Structures are given as C-alpha cells and as structure tokens.
Amino acid sequence: MQGPTSVPRATGRPRSAAADTAILAATREALVELGWSKLTLGDVATRAGVAKTTLYRRWAGKNELVVDAVAELFDELELPDRGSLAADIEGVVLQFAVILARPETKSGLMAVLAESTRDDALRARIRASIVDRQKRLVLAGRARAETRGELAPETDPEEAARTVDLIFDMVAGAVVHRCVVSAEPADEEWVRSFTRVLLLGLTSA
C-alpha cells in the first residue's frame, strides 16, 4: 500500500524514490495551508519540484494521493508498556489525539473518508493503509492485559473480533469527534475521563 503502483519494472529508468517522499510531504504541506478543497495537484507538483505529469503517472487522483500522504502520519503510533491496561490505553489514545490535532491529519482524513462513502475502492484503500494497520494496537494491548491477568482471555474468536471492532470504533470515534466536531483539545484530563468510562464499561462484565 506504500506508494502508487508498487510493481518495479525490471528494465528502463527506475522511478525516483525521492520524488515519492517529496510529493507526499508537499501534499501534507498543502493540506495545512490550503485544506482539502483548495488543494490542487498542480500546486503540489510545484511544491515537490516535479512535473504535474509525473504526479499523474503515480496516483490516479487527489483521493489516492491524500490517503497515502495521511497514512504515513499514523505510522508513528506505538504502544509502550506503562504497567497497566488503563495506562496503556491512556498513552495510545493521547498519541492518537496528538496526531489528529495536526491540521493536515484532520483535513486530509476527513476529506478522504467523505469521498469513500461513494467510492468502494477508496474505502478499501483507506482500510488497508490506515484502519486495519492500526488495529494491531488494540490487539497488542489486549494480549498484554491478558498476560497481566487484567482481562480474562476470550475463548470465542468471533466474539473477540466483535469486541475489538467495538473498542476501535469507540476509541477512534470519540477522539475524532472530540478533535474535529467539538474542536476542543483531547488533553490528558479528557483522555483520563474517557479511558475511565471505557475501561469500567468493558471490565464490569
């Protein structure tokens, strides 16, 4: 999912990897300054120092380009061991909030999500590049909590999958809504309150 058409030809002049990174960086820069609707591919090409045609040879359009540009922002998410399930969740939620606080993340992610409601291929690309990629955090956190004895190991795999999806919807949904719609900072205090409600709801079973 990284980059455009990831099929390297055996012969001929190879594609410039530097151009890829320059284009994606220029896209994020343009997202910050212009937002989604005023972002033009010609402007991105100029910022990146490449020709507009080069951009069109690698990406089909605005949507695909922005998905790749935004996806890289989420790769820095980690799940450091903070000793308890509550602390682990607070940590990763706070990281998520920091990334979402950036204007390029908000503008880009929301816009491609809006487009994905009428474009199944785009939605699949988003899921593969961003959503499913980060669901690993939920799985890792659950596994770590089970080894600590904080959570009972789930026997039914289908039920476990449903729970993971529910947690992901609740965490990502609440943080996005807080940052984008309510437009107020998801700071430590808010994250603590949210984590407390979530964890109490999950463990009071």
Partner DNA sequence: CCATTACGCTACGACGCGTAGCGAAACCAC
Partner DNA sequence: GTGGTTTCGCTACGCGTCGTAGCGTAATGG
185 binds, among DNA, a copy of itself, none (CB under 5 to 8 A by kind): none
Q: What is the DSSP string of 51-82?
A: -HHHHHHH-SSHHHHHHHHHHGGGGG------
Indicate which single residue of 40, 147, 193, 203 sits in contact with DNA (rule: CB under 7 A): 40
For the beta carbon of residue 195, count every other beta carbon within 10 angstroms: 21
Q: Which stretch binds a copy of itself (CB under 8 A): 41-49, 69-77, 141-149, 194-202?
A: 194-202
Q: Give me the sign of the Cα torsion angle 29, 33, 36, 38.
A: negative
Long-range Cβ pairs for the range 149-153 (8 Å, 24+):
150/84, 150/85, 150/203, 151/85, 151/203
Choose, by CB under 7 A, the member of 41, 140, 170, 202 that binds DNA.
41
Q: ∠ CA 14-62-3 to the nearest 5 degrees?
A: 30
Q: Name which of DNA, a copy of itself, none residue 80 binds, using a CB cut-off of 5 to 8 Å depending on partner kind.
A: none
Which parts of 87-146 interact with a copy of itself (CB under 8 A)? 103, 106-107, 110-111, 113-119, 123, 126-127, 131
| Residue 33 interacting with DNA (CB under 7 A) | no
Question: Cβ neighbours of residue 173 under 8 Å, at least 6 residues apart?
Answer: none
The helix, strand and coil proportions of the chain, stated in percent and rounded to the nearest 5, come to: 75, 0, 25
Q: Interface with a copy of itself includes 81 (CB under 8 A)? A: no
Q: According to CB under 7 A, which one of 47, 58, 102, 144 is a site residue for DNA? A: 58
**6, 14, 155, 205: residue in contact with DNA (rule CB under 7 A):** 14
Between CA 159 and CA 142 the distance in angstroms is 14
Min separation Cβ 94 and a copy of itself, Å: 15
Which positions from 41 through 80 interact with a copy of itself, judged by CB under 8 A? Answer: 62
Pick between residue 24 and residue 175 the one whose CB is nearest to a copy of itself: 175
Contact residues: DNA, CB under 7 A: 9-16, 19, 39-43, 49-54, 56-58, 61-62
